[in-house]
DNA sequence: GATTTATATAACTTTGCGGTTATGCTTAAT
DNA sequence: ATTAAGCATAACCGCAAAGTTATATAAATC
């Protein structure tokens, strides 16, 4: 069995998962994100740093704003690991193959348009 | 976007992920699991409690031993949530459909043999 | 150039979590 | 019946993590 992705450590926090759900809709600035939370701006910046170091988000400077963006591949990899674990448990490695094949196919299509 | 599964909180710990990987190979007793770790038996029991309350494992009493088992569906659901998030981010809801369809199909097959 | 806006970092506080030892309960063994 | 084995819980400890306020930097505005 493959090692679990580090990203799962960062995903263990509800606020960070909420951030990722917001970013899945599109890039957002820190102040834009902040409107959706009760805690302070530094607290949000700390979460964003953790997500960055886990490879789950990136940002681009846009004037004085930092536009954060989701790194979907990292999310996908974490999800794939779980599906893989499920498939292994389920004693159906054919499922594993088809699932990962489907993901790889998606990836190829994505790369093509970029 | 759907809420993230609570299970992800429990998955935020490397030791617990290791436990799940061991259990994916088949049910194990606490003492059996303990051989794979450096910490004490109470520490392991606390991890198992958290995994139980997250719905990720169950156990059956077997004499004085407790045989823990993985609840694959919970893992699958957590993985599916991430794949779903990825698909949403990737602006390809057709992918979401096909991925979840594939999982549902797997599930149906599983139910059939049980 | 002074001020305001946007974000990050530093320093600090507090709380939660993962670890420990000690103990209790249940079941098997002798 | 005692003893031992397997596991869970209680009580406690230390530290990391999530929060705070204060401050620094960089860019836009006036």
The pLDDT value recorded for residue B71 is 96
> How many Å apart are B47 CA and D11 C1'?
18
Percent of chain A whose predicted confidence (pLDDT) is above 70: 80
The pLDDT value recorded for residue A97 is 61
The pLDDT value recorded for residue A64 is 96
Of A98-102, B45-49, B80-84, B92-96, the least confident: B92-96
Residues in chain A within 8 Å Cβ distance of B13:
9, 12
> How many Å apart are B12 CA and C18 C1'?
13
Contacts of A75 by beta carbon, 8 Å cutoff, 6+ apart: A7, A20, A56, B82, B85, B86, B89
Task: Tell me the pLDDT tens digit for each residue of B4-58.
Answer: 888 999 999 999 999 999 999 999 999 999 999 999 999 999 999 999 999 999 9
Over residues A21-33, the mean pLDDT reads: 96
Residues in chain B within 8 Å Cβ distance of A27:
none
**Band of pLDDT at residue B59, cut at 50, 70 and 90:** very high
Residues in chain A within 8 Å Cβ distance of B89:
23-24, 70, 72, 75
User: Is the distance between the Cβ of A63 and the closest atom of strand D smaller than 7 Å?
Assistant: yes
Residue from the list B1, B17, B82 with its beta carbon closest to the beta carbon of A79:
B82
Contacts of B48 by beta carbon, 8 Å cutoff, 6+ apart: B19, B30, B33, B57, B59, B68
Decide if pLDDT at B99 tops 80: no
Give me the count of residues in chain A: 114
Over residues A93-97, the mean pLDDT reads: 57
SS3 letters for chain B?
CCCCCCHHHHCCCHHHHHHHHHHHCCCEEHHHHHCCCCCCHHHHHHHHHHHHHCCCEEEEEECCEEEEEECHHHHHHHHHHHHHHHHHHCCCHHHHHHHHHHHHHHHHHHHHHC
> How many Å apart are A25 CA and D16 C1'?
32
Kindly write down the DSSP assignment for every residue of A5-58, as one continuous string: PTHHHHTTSHHHHHHHHHHHTS-EEHHHHHTT-SS-HHHHHHHHHHHHHTTSEE
Q: Which nucleotides of D are covered by protein (CB under 7 A)?
A: 5-11, 17-22, 26-28
**In terms of CA atoms, which chain B residue is nearest residue A72?**
B86
Q: Is A89 close to B70, i.e. CB distance below 8 A?
A: yes
The pLDDT value recorded for residue A3 is 82
**Band of pLDDT at residue A114, cut at 50, 70 and 90:** very low
Q: Is B12 close to A12, i.e. CB distance below 8 A?
A: yes
**In terms of CA atoms, which chain B residue is nearest residue A25?**
B89
Question: What does each C-alpha distance from B50 to A77, A110, B19, B23, B65 come to in angstroms?
Answer: 24, 38, 12, 15, 19
Q: Which nucleotide is nearest to B14 (CA to C1')?
A: C18
**Band of pLDDT at residue B113, cut at 50, 70 and 90:** very low
């Amino acid at each position: 069995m493959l090692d679990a992705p580090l990203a799962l450590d960062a995903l263990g926090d509800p606020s960070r998962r909420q951030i990722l759900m917001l970013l899945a809709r599109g890039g957002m600035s820190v102040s834009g994100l902040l409107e959706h939370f009760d805690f302070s701006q530094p607290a949000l910046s700390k979460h964003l740093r953790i997500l960055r170091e886990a490879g789950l988000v990136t940002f681009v400077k846009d004037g004085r704003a930092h536009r954060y963006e989701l790194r979907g591949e990292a999310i996908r990899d974490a999800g794939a690991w779980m599906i893989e674990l499920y498939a292994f448990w389920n004693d159906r490695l054919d499922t594993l193959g088809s699932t990962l094949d489907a993901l790889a196919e998606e990836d190829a299509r994505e790369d093509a348009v970029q």
